[in-house]
Structure 1
Amino acid sequence: MDKTEKNEDFQDTIQSLLIEIDNIKDYLEEIYSYDGDVKKLFVNNENETYIERKVNELSDKVEVFNWWWKVIVRDVKEMKDILKPES
């Protein structure tokens, strides 16, 4: 893979990471701004409460974010090696 292709891959990874950050932010805002009856947050709905479901969904989003984070760390190391000046 040449430098241009690697740079495009890196940019794609950054874009994916930004999407996951937005997803996490949306879930946190939804939980934070819930303006209904607080009691409804903890009422069972199909074997789990609303808040449990949202927290579990958020946990899934964080796992995806962590995966993309590992990809970007790997890409940075690879880019560093590719761009390292020859001695």
Structure 2
Amino acid sequence: MRKSPDLKYLFEPRSVAVIGASKNPEKIGYRILSNIIHGGYKGEVYPVNVKGGEILGKKVYRSVEEIDGEIDLSIIAIPAPYVYDAVK
């Protein structure tokens, strides 16, 4: 019998990184980040954008390598040609 995968990291993440977070309200990276923050999520939220700075009161990390905490779930909100490099 095969063991079922543990899906708690997908459905109950303690932390979320939004790769491609944006200051532009028209971009998907902004909308995802905003929905997480304003939707009542209680865990850690790590916006990631190569420009750094701050979005919606959160420090923006230039890469996931800058994040000290554990990341349970990453949401990738960048153009398709850049996804491979973001994942490696």
Q: TM-score range by the shorter chain?
A: under 0.3
Structure with greater proportional strand content: 2
- Identify the structure with bigger relative contact order (alpha carbons < 8 Å, sequence gap 6+): 1
Normalized against structure 1, the TM-score is what?
A: 0.22
Tell me which structure has the larger Cα radius of gyration. Answer: 1
